[in-house]
Chains A and B, each alone.
Chain A
């Protein structure tokens, strides 16, 4: 039973890591746009900086 002295604090520490991760994600604004986040996950690619030339040109005009 002495193993509890190690395992219980370990379990609590893991839980605490989860909580800290949650608080960090909350602070960095990851819950501000849940609808958008749901779609971003399945978007084809990142909103590309380097556009295909065909699309980039008219925007400069």
Chain B
């Protein structure tokens, strides 16, 4: 049975006889990769477009319709050394891209208007102290109005819409004071212009919008970039299934194209991509990603298998019960929803600041107006002063204070191998004081490792590795990896559920179960020393050896745990795995707090218990069974190898084998939170200086504009420090 690959699900019609496909590519990081890929793909005949997007790490391809099979591109990229996978843009991502483009358009309009209104304002400012005649001033004011009013109506949409929807539901957000300030300033300026007054505030109002749009755009682009990369990761995990399209005909299709009732083939060493029931075959299944249990489960006709479990020994036919939602997943999703709801009560720093800010600003402006009227000023003068207060206290610096830091910090974290799901996870991460680790796949590596390699002669190891290359079994793959063998032995044959055999120099070589190689006694002896491992035996004629294979700890797990303890963060291991396995890992890592055999519900209970004691808990886990706990924790992190659902739930995802990004992320976020607070204080401090001046009634548009942009620039410069500190540390 030779499988064909069917990617037609992803191919789009690009019009004028062309087909289009988007591929997510792993490992594109520099200009070199970019031109290498583009050249390599353009060289294929009939390809009309091959363009790499370095920001999103994707390739867009177009070719003459029907001339090529998209699988060809993936093979070509594999030849060039890149792993690629077809990609379907999720609805949310497309909407965010559109939103981001809209913000940029608003920003362009606002910036254009600001520049031109400023150009007109400068003659007015200088004219007021020299020889400008009132008619000329009115001409310039009217021109300013002509530019600023339509520009503000267009570029202010993001704020006006959000403020309106908040007001309609009876809430106040940051956009309400912004909208009131802008509309009042523009309206007031229009009245002043009509009355031939000396001052108008068009320049201040439109500049306010420009600065706020910069902040809004930065915020948006940070989230969009992370979502794009996270989308790639999901695609690169290559969730495909081998589906039967006839009695004996199979084809490889993306999981998205599988429906309940389909029959899929699950070969040894493959990870199951769907939920279903075994209808034929016999095997052992590793469900550690789902349950945390590393011991294998026997699978036969009628056994339920879940997405994420690894098939070990035999070939299975599985009838699909659910491709994306199933019994287990439904249960976990229910827990997840509850946990997420509980967390949504967290109030972000920016919201907390604006909640305080809006009433204070409006009260100040109102008191200023009333105060001046009581002091004997005319209503007109009092209102002009009140508007000046509103403009000068514009939450410009406040609107930039947090998104700028988030953008810089997320860039720095990205370079350290950490992806952020949302900006506010930085704030939550910064005050973590308790970290709960899952064991399997988190503290340990997801792949198996040979642990007694040093006890086996090199030449034996090499031959065993060559033989292991003939097998798909994950244990054999571990032997092959450890031996660094490249060339498989000729004529090797696999016996299902037993092992592989081959003839070399007239002697039979066997690799597989201890009973298959006649090495039961030797295996028992080795396993007594290391009860957590599984044994794979190798026999070369009469010479017999046993490899002990198990999931190794991440290389720097111990260093990371002591680094966390040094930062006054308590560390705990909570795993669904059996007690001896967890105890051994905890002892090796020097963690005194550990729990074993824990169910997903218990994990949440433990987190709630710690929350009750006032701890801020970070959960680090990778299994499907961790997903609800990840959602329940104050903040959560997953390795890139995690189950899809867990990755989508976690606030942060880290790449690579080492665990170091966990510590780096905490350091970065603490620094970032410090800078955010500094920025907020800068904004407040600026207001303390500027407001009394505005209340006293001496503010001209020049002073207002200069003060406002000065504070904004200060805040942006301060945010850049999140990067320089990060560089110094690494």
Contacts and interface: CB of A to CB of B under 8 A. Distances in A.
Is this pair of chains taken from one and the same complex? yes
Interface of A: 1, 4, 8, 11-12, 15-16, 18-19, 22-23, 26, 31-36, 39-40, 42-44, 47-49, 51, 55-56, 59-60
Nearest to A36: B54
Given A19-B112, A32-B53, A34-B55, 8 more contacts: A12-B143, A19-B109, A33-B53, A47-B38, A47-B50, A48-B39, A48-B42, A59-B76
A4 to B, nearest CB: 8
Contacts of B677: none
Contact of A31 (B35, B56, B104, B136): B104
Given A19-B112, A26-B105, A35 B55 contact: yes
29 contacts: A4-B136, A8-B143, A11-B116, A16-B112, A19-B112, A22-B112, A23-B105, A23-B108, A26-B108, A33-B54, A33-B56, A35-B54, A36-B34, A36-B52, A36-B53, A36-B54, A36-B55, A40-B34, A42-B31, A44-B35, A47-B39, A47-B50, A48-B39, A48-B42, A55-B39, A56-B43, A59-B40, A59-B44, A60-B43
A42 B52 CA distance: 16
A12 B525 CA distance: 88
A60 B42 CA distance: 12
Contacts of A35: 54-55
B42 A49 contact: yes
A23 B109 CA distance: 9
Contacts of B43: 51, 55-56, 59-60
B498 to A, nearest CB: 38
B112 A15 contact: yes
Contacts of A23: 105, 108
B529 interface: no
B115 interface: yes
A58 B31 CA distance: 23
Contact of B136 (A1, A44, A55, A60): A1
A4 B104 CA distance: 32
B141 to A, nearest CB: 13
A23 B605 CA distance: 53
Residue from B30, B104, B108 having most chain A Cβ neighbours under 10 A: B108
A32 B228 CA distance: 12
Contacts of B725: none
A43 B36 CA distance: 11
A61 to B, nearest CB: 10
A12 B432 CA distance: 53
A40 B51 CA distance: 11
Contact of B116 (A4, A15, A39, A44): A15
A47 B112 contact: no
Contacts of B50: 47
A25 B34 CA distance: 22
B240 to A, nearest CB: 25
Interface in B4-42: 30-31, 34-35, 38-40, 42
B119 interface: yes
Contact of A26 (B53, B104, B136): B104
A39 B31 contact: yes
B55 A11 contact: no
B690 interface: no
Nearest to B119: A11
A4 B142 CA distance: 14
Residue from B34, B105, B119 having most chain A Cβ neighbours under 10 A: B34
Nearest to B112: A19
Interface string B133-148: 0001001000100010
A32 B55 contact: yes
Residue from B50, B52, B112 having most chain A Cβ neighbours under 10 A: B112
A14 to B, nearest CB: 10
B334 interface: no
Contacts of B76: 59
A12 B54 contact: no
Contact of B31 (A22, A33, A43): A43
Interface string B89-129: 00000000000010011001100100110011000000000
A13 B30 CA distance: 40
Given A8-B143, A34-B55, A36-B34, A15 B115 contact: yes
Contacts of B139: 4
A40 B54 CA distance: 10
Contacts of A26: 101, 104-105, 108
A19 to B, nearest CB: 4
A60 B44 CA distance: 7
Contacts of B40: 59
Interface in B56-109: 56, 76, 79, 101, 104-105, 108-109
Pairs A-B, 5 closest by C-beta atoms: A36-B54, A39-B31, A47-B38, A19-B112, A35-B54
A4 B30 CA distance: 51
Residue from A12, A32, A47 having most chain B Cβ neighbours under 10 A: A47
B161 to A, nearest CB: 20
A39 B30 contact: yes
Contacts of A39: 30-31, 34, 54
Nearest to A61: B79
B207 to A, nearest CB: 15
A48 B76 CA distance: 17
Nearest to B40: A59
A55 B108 CA distance: 44
